[in-house]
Amino acid sequence: MEKQNQNIVIIGGGFAGVEMAEQLLKAGYRGKIILVDKNNYNFFPPLLYQVATGFLDISNISYPFRKYFRNHPAFRFRMGSLVAVRAEDQVAVLDNGEIHYDQLIIATGTVSNYFGNEHIRQHSLPMKTIGDAVTLKNRLLERLEVASRLTDQAKKDRLTTFVIAGGGPTGVEIAGMLSELRKNILHKDYPELAGCKMDIYLVDGLPALLSPMSKKSQAYAKSTLEQMGVIIRLGQVVKDYKDHVVLLADGTTIETDNLIWTAGVTGQLFEGLAKESYGKGNRLLTDAYSRVTGTANIYAIGDSSLMTADPAFPNGHPQLAQVALQQAAQLAHNIISETKGRGAKAFRYKDRGSMAIISRNKAVADLTGPLRHFQGFFAWLIWIFVHLMSLINLRNKITTLFNWYNAYITRDQPLRMIIDAKNNPPAEDKSQARF
């Protein structure tokens, strides 16, 4: 079989997987490109927290793979999850069958890491998927409904106290959004909760928020959140969560029914890939060409990959969207080059900076170039533009912009509906795991 007629199987339809497929199709790859994902849609993770807090609808940040790639005859989609790899047979084993590959690209991203704590895994609210975001919105709104009809002030306070574990961009952004909700919306929707403190805690084990960003960004984020009434606990990790109580490393406790978990991620392990192929955080060790250690035709890109061959990043690249996009584009270019008898090019990451939104008109941006740091309104505009342009298609860009404009003008958003597939109404005697 000629190289240009080979089957390329891409596992994972996130930033890296979609970019990989797009680049190969754009270059006119003549083989079959098969994208595998457990969902039948792509979604935009940086805006999950806005779905979780009712400021965006699911459809604003998601789009079906089959529609997006429908005009490309070489493209095929398979809904499923990777379970194992039989490298000797060149077969990817899915949870619903098997698929043959000539080149296998693993771009499965990460899952929430609970650091082995079963109580946290069972009772906290993660935010990694669309399902997580919808569940988080449902649970928070359910608990507000329950609190609105209680007379026991201690229980009301527990239901309306929010603890966010993790001081990265997601933790900072959801803390800011919850603070905006508390200030502008919740007292109007829930007059019964007048007098409730509605405390918002942001907890992180590191000495600063937004640890990968500049000290200016870290200081601005901290001071802004504190001015908004967010209680910040740095140098603390969540040790346990049971019986409605968050236990911190110093022995401090916080009574709450709402532990939002953004504190850590880990890669996924797949049967058939040697233990030696995995590095820190269960990320697959790759060479400078994204090839998984110990394999000939298996590659890993994006958050799944731990590449130490880039001289500027000897400990691996940060798990950012830009890394995923650049690795996917480079690998696609290398594959096309090899089909034409040319050599592959080693990957070198070009850091374009990072940013985080805090609240209305407040954000931080650390960029490359002579003007490296922005904060406040201008950084907020940069964040809006970059995230809007990063959405997968024009429809998503337009609907998201409309929702943002409406929320900015009205300081509100009418998307706070409890949509629960189980259709179970909240009740005071339900278990913590249900709420």
Residue 435 has a pLDDT of 33
In what order do the strands lie in the sheet containing 253-255? Answer: 238-242, 245-248, 253-255
Who's near 92: CB < 8 A, 6+ residues apart?
A: 9, 11, 36, 82, 84, 85, 98, 99, 100, 101, 104
Q: Of the CATH numbers 3.50.50.60, 3.50.50.100, 1.10.3720.10, 3.30.1320.10, which one belongs to the domain with range 118-262+361-410?
A: 3.50.50.100
CATH 3.50.50.60 domain position(s) in the chain: 3-38+80-110+267-339
pTM, two decimals, is 0.91
SS3 per-residue string spanning 78-97: EECCEEEEECCCCEEEECCE
State how far the Cα of 216 lies from the Cα of 223, in Å rounded to an integer: 11
SS (H, E, C) the chain: CCHHHCEEEEECCCHHHHHHHHHHHHCCCCCEEEEEECCCEEECHHHHHHHHCCCCCHHHCEEEHHHHCCCCCCEEEEECCEEEEECCCCEEEECCEEEECCEEEECCCCEECCCCCHHHHHHCEECCCHHHHHHHHHHHHHHHHHHHCCCCHHHHHHHCCEEEECCCHHHHHHHHHHHHHHHHHHHHHCHHHCCCCCCEEEEECCCCCCCCCCHHHHHHHHHHHHHCCCEEEECCCEEEEECCEEEECCCCEEECCEEEECCCEECCCCECCCHHHECHHHCEEECCCCEECCCCCEEECHHHEEECCCCCCCCCCCCCHHHHHHHHHHHHHHHHHHHCCCCCCCCCCCCCCEEEEEECCEEEEECCCCCCEEECHHHHHHHHHHHHHHCCCHHHHHHHHHHHHHHHHHCCCCCCCCCCCCCCCCCCCCCCCCC
Q: How remote is the C-alpha of 125 from its chain's centroid?
A: 14
Q: Are 303 and 328 in contact (CB under 8 A)?
A: no
Cα separation, 358 vs 209, in Å, equals: 12
Predicted pLDDT at 160? 96
Beta bridge partners of 366: 354, 373
How many C-beta neighbours within 10 Å does residue 247 have? 17
Q: Please tell me the predicted confidence (pLDDT) of residue 430.
A: 45
What gap in Å lies between CA 25 and CA 42, rounded to an integer? Answer: 17
**What pLDDT, on a 0 to 100 scale, did the predictor assign at position 310?**
96
The residue to which tokens 């954000």 are assigned: 363
User: Rounded to the nearest 5°, which phi and psi values hold at 161?
Assistant: -100, 135
- Sequence-separated (6 or more) residues with CB below 8 Å from residue 313: 307, 349
Amino acid at 359: S
- Each residue's pLDDT, cut to its tens digit, for the chain (435 residues) gives 445 578 999 999 999 999 999 999 999 998 999 999 999 999 999 999 999 999 999 999 999 999 999 999 999 999 999 999 999 999 999 999 999 999 999 999 999 999 999 999 999 999 999 999 999 999 999 999 999 999 999 999 999 999 999 999 999 999 999 999 999 998 899 999 988 889 999 999 999 999 989 999 999 999 999 999 999 999 999 999 999 999 999 999 999 999 999 998 999 999 999 999 999 999 999 999 999 999 999 999 999 999 999 999 999 999 999 999 999 999 999 999 998 888 899 999 999 999 999 999 999 999 987 778 999 999 999 999 999 999 999 999 999 999 999 999 998 888 889 887 565 555 554 433 333
Dihedral sign computed on CA atoms, order 51, 57, 63, 64: positive
- Cα gap 291→307, rounded to integer Å: 9
First to last CA, the chain: 55
Distance between alpha carbon 349 and the CA centroid of its chain, in Å? Answer: 21
Say whether domain 3-38+80-110+267-339 belongs to CATH 3.50.50.60.
Answer: yes
Pick the closest to residue 257 from 154, 376, 175, 132 (CA basis). 154
Domain with CATH 3.50.50.100 in the chain: 118-262+361-410
- Name the residues annotated as catalytic: 173
Q: Which residues contact 114 (CB under 8 A, 6 or more apart)?
A: 120, 121, 124, 261, 264
